[in-house]
Amino acid sequence: MAQWITPKDVENGIDGLPSISTTTQNNLRSKRKLTYTKIGTKVVYKKEWILEYLASNIKKAKKDKAE
């Protein structure tokens, strides 16, 4: 069974996840960049959804031309 994570859990950086403020979470949800579900009025996530968002935003470092 899936374990649901609350926005407060994400803000606190539980279970090895980086901390993401509730304001940032709200912005990401409204832009449809962060997957979520609602149970009544309560927003919840699966850990996989947070990890997918993080993986989709990896930025590669530029190589130094001197190398």
Taking Cα atoms as reference points, which of 58, 42, 51 lies closest to residue 7? 42
pLDDT value at 67 more than 90: no
Give 15's pLDDT tier (boundaries 50, 70, 90): confident
Tell me the two tokens of residue 13: 């950086």
Distance CA 28, CA 53 (A): 9
pLDDT value at 1 more than 90: no
Asked if 55 and 18 count as a contact pair (C-beta separation under 8 A), the reply is no
pLDDT tens for each residue of 23-61: 999 999 999 999 999 999 999 999 999 999 999 999 998
Which pLDDT score is estimated for 2? 57
Strand pairing category for 42-46 and 4-5? antiparallel
Note the pTM of the prediction, 2 decimals.
0.81
Domain boundaries of the chain, sorted by first residue: 4-43
